[in-house]
Structures are given as C-alpha cells and as structure tokens.
Amino acid sequence: MSTFRKYIRLVPDPADPSRGSLDASEIVSKACYEEWMSAREYDCADHAGKTFQRALTGHISASDGRLPFSPEEEAAILKVIRAKRIWYARSPLWL
C-alpha cells in the first residue's frame, strides 16, 4: 500500500488553483512497478504483471483484508486504470 501511495500526488486544480486534486497517473508507471516488485518477499516473476494489477485493484476493493485507499485516492486511481492504455506492468515487454 505504501508503495502505491508514493505515486499519488497533489497537484493544483487548473479550474481553481487555490484547490488541489490528486494525480495518480504514475501508479501504473515503470518506477512504481519496479519499486513494488523489489518489495515482494516472494518470487512472482512468472506472472508479475498480473500480480501487480491484482494488488492494486485489491486495495481499491479492499478485498482479502487489504487496506483500502481513501475515497479521493480511489477516484484518482480509477481515472487512470479505466483509461484505454496498456499498463507498464502489463506491456508485452513484461509478460
């Protein structure tokens, strides 16, 4: 969870600079994926991309006893994972 939270940042809201909004676009980045992989206590190299995806979505749904993200963090992450693009961890280079 703490690895994922490092990649969510507060940025100024373009519509209202006095307020901020959360940007979670780096949560599916190479840096986040590699930091998450280095924190694993077990070898999941055979299916690491899918395991990374399951870990992130598991925190969103708070499944398997995982700590959930705050509602604001969850909303920012959902914008990113619903975008039509390939996650770094799920790209053909990593499968």
pLDDT by residue (tens digit) across 47-65? 777 888 888 888 888 877 8
pLDDT at 88: 63
Q: How many domains does the chain have?
A: 1
**pLDDT at residue 94 in the model:** 42
**Digitized pLDDT (tens) for each residue of the chain, 95 residues in all:** 688 989 998 888 777 777 788 999 898 888 888 898 888 777 766 777 788 888 888 888 887 788 889 999 999 999 988 887 766 655 544 43
Spatial contact of 74 and 60, defined as CB atoms under 8 Å apart: yes
The reported pTM is 0.74
Rounded Cα distance, 88 and 95, in Å: 10
Give residue 63's domain range. Answer: 2-94
